Amino acid sequence: MQPSDEGWIKLNTNECPYPPSPRVVAAVVDEVGIEGASLRRYPSPTSAPLREQIACIQGVSVEQVIVGNGSDDILNLLVRVFGGPEVATGLTLPSYSLYPVLVAIQDGGTEMIEFDRSMRLPVARIASSGATAFFLTSPNAPTGVGFTNVELEAVLREFPGILVVDEAYAPFAEENAVPLLKAHRNLVVVRTLSKAHALAGIRVGYALADAETIGLLDRVRDSYNVNRLSQVAAAAALGDASYYDAIIGKIKRTRDHWAQEWAKRDWFVYRSSANFLFVEPRRAGGESGPAVAQSLFEYFTMRKILVRTFLSHALTASFLRISVGTDDEMFAVDEAIQAWLTNAP
Ligand SMILES: Cc1ncc(COP(=O)(O)O)c(C=O)c1O
C-alpha cells in the first residue's frame, strides 16, 4: 500500500529511511539543464554509460549487464524469455509475490517449492524441480534469511536450468552471488537501486549474467526502457559508495538492535540479512498466531504505522514484516507494541 495522505510511518515496502546521496539530486538538476534542454532528446537506449559503470563496479564485462526500469522490469524480461505455457518456472514459497503474477501473465506453469519453518534452502528439491528457470530471492523476502554461496553453488551445480538470484536486499547481507558468475553460466543475479540506494522512485534495476543470456533479455527489452534522468541518478548513486556504506551500516545496526529487543519479548524473529525484520508477535499472555499478528497490524494502522501481513499462507500468517526505519520511527513502533501489549484485548 502506498498511502496518499501525510503523517504515516511507512514501513511496509522496505524503502530506505534515509535520502539518496546529495550527488543524485545535483546530477539530475544538471542533466535537466537550462529550461530542460536535454529532455527533448531520447536517452541512451542501452543505458550505455551506466551499464559500463556497473560492469566496472561488479568486475564483469559490459556484455554481462542489462539495465531495467526497476528490477521488476528485469524480472519481467526473464519470465518472458525463460517462462511460458510449455515450461514450468520454479518458485519458492514464501518469496517475492510478483514472480507468480509475471508467470501468469505469460500463461506459464509454475513449480512451487515450499520452505519449512527453518527457511533453509531445499537444494535437492530445487535441483530436481524440472523447471527451466528457478527464481530465488536472497536474502529471502519476506523472511530476510540470506542463503550462503555454498548453498547457492550446490543448486547451480545440480540444477540444469537458469537460476535467477534476486538480490534486491544483498547490500544488507554478509555475502552475495556475484563472485559465482565466473564459474556458473546458468546464474542470473538481479539487483535494484530501490532499497539500499534510496531510489525506489526513479526505477532502476539491473541483471548480471553470461553474455548470451543478457543478449536474449536484450532482445525483448523496450528500446528506451530507462529514462534519461533515471540513468544519471543511478550513476551518481553508484559513484558515491562511501555515502551508501554509511547509511547501510546504520540500517544494519538499527535492524540488529530491534531484532534483539523483540527477541527479548520472547518473539520469534528470523535472523535478517535485509533491511526488514520478520517477527512473530506474542500477546502479553504468550499467545501467537494469525489473529495476534492481525491485531497488532490493526493497532499499528490505528497509530498510522504501516507494516505488512502475509495472511495467505500458514508459514507466514502469524508474522509481520517491518521495514527498518529511522531511530525515531523504530522507537514509535516499539512504543506502539508496548501500548498494544498493555491495552489490546
Ligand atoms: C525481492 C524483490 N525483488 C524486486 C523488487 C522490486 O524492486 P524494484 O523497485 O527495483 O522494481 C522488490 C521490491 O519490493 C523485492 O522485494
The single-letter code of the amino acid at 59 is: G
Written as one string, the DSSP assignment of 186-226 is TEEEEEESSSTTS-TTT--EEEEE-HHHHHHHHHHS-TT-S
Cα–Cα dist 47/206, whole Å: 10
Q: What is the pLDDT of residue 345?
A: 62
The single-letter code of the amino acid at 73 is: D
Is residue 50 within 8 A of residue 67, CB to CB? The reply is: yes
Would you call 330 helix, strand, or coil by DSSP? helix
Query: Angle between the 228-238 and 48-58 helix axes, to the nearest 10 degrees?
Result: 20
Q: If you take atom 12 of ligand 1, which residue's CA is the nearest one? A: 168
Q: What is the pLDDT of residue 150?
A: 97
Q: Specify which residues 306 forms β-bridges with.
A: 10
**Which ligand 1 atom minimizes the distance to the CA of 68?**
10
From ligand 1's centre to the CA of 217, what distance in Å? 18
Positions of CATH 3.40.640.10 in the chain? 22-239
281 to each of 245, 253, 298, 312, how far by Cα in Å?
Answer: 31, 21, 13, 17
Cα–Cα dist 273/194, whole Å: 16
From ligand 1's centre to the CA of 70, what distance in Å? 8
How would you classify the pairing of strands 109-114 and 162-166? unpaired
How would you classify the pairing of strands 268-269 and 276-280? antiparallel
Cα–Cα dist 294/31, whole Å: 46
CATH 3.40.640.10 correct for 22-239 = yes
Ligand 1 pocket member 142 (CB < 6 A): no
Residue to probe by mutation, ligand 1, list 13, 16, 71, most atoms within 8 Å of CB: 71
Ligand 1 pocket member 71 (CB < 6 A): yes
**Which ligand 1 atom minimizes the distance to the CA of 205?**
10
Q: What is the CA radius of gyration of the chain?
A: 21
**What is the arrangement of strands in the sheet containing 205-209, beginning at the earlier edge strand?**
65-68, 205-209, 187-192, 162-166, 133-137, 88-93, 109-114
Ligand 1 pocket member 192 (CB < 6 A): yes
From ligand 1's centre to the CA of 72, what distance in Å? 6
pLDDT tens per residue across all 345 residues of the chain? 677 778 899 999 999 999 999 999 999 999 999 888 899 999 999 999 999 999 999 999 999 999 999 999 999 999 999 998 889 999 999 999 999 999 999 999 999 999 999 999 999 999 999 999 999 999 999 999 999 999 999 999 999 999 999 999 999 999 999 999 999 999 999 999 999 999 999 999 999 999 999 999 999 999 999 999 999 999 999 999 999 999 999 999 999 999 999 999 999 999 999 999 999 999 999 999 999 999 999 999 999 999 999 998 999 999 999 999 999 999 999 999 999 999 876
Ligand 1 pocket member 72 (CB < 6 A): yes
Would you give the distance in Å from CA 55 to the centre of its chain?
20
Rounded to the nearest 5°, which phi and psi values hold at 55? -60, -45
From ligand 1's centre to the CA of 141, what distance in Å? 9
159 C-beta neighbours (distance < 10 Å), count: 20
**Which ligand 1 atom minimizes the distance to the CA of 13?**
14
Cα–Cα dist 83/63, whole Å: 22
State which H helix or E strand residue 279 sits in.
strand 276-280
Q: If you take atom 14 of ligand 1, which residue's CA is the nearest one? A: 13
317 C-beta neighbours (distance < 10 Å), count: 16
Ligand 1 pocket member 14 (CB < 6 A): yes
CATH 3.30.300.30 correct for 9-18+242-343 = no
Positions of CATH 3.90.1150.10 in the chain? 9-18+242-343
From ligand 1's centre to the CA of 172, what distance in Å? 14
Cα–Cα dist 258/52, whole Å: 39
Cα–Cα dist 146/40, whole Å: 44
* Nearest residue to 188 (alpha-carbon basis) of 79, 100, 307: 79
Is residue 130 within 8 A of residue 103, CB to CB? The reply is: no
Ligand 1 pocket member 15 (CB < 6 A): no
From ligand 1's centre to the CA of 169, what distance in Å? 9
Ligand 1 pocket member 200 (CB < 6 A): yes
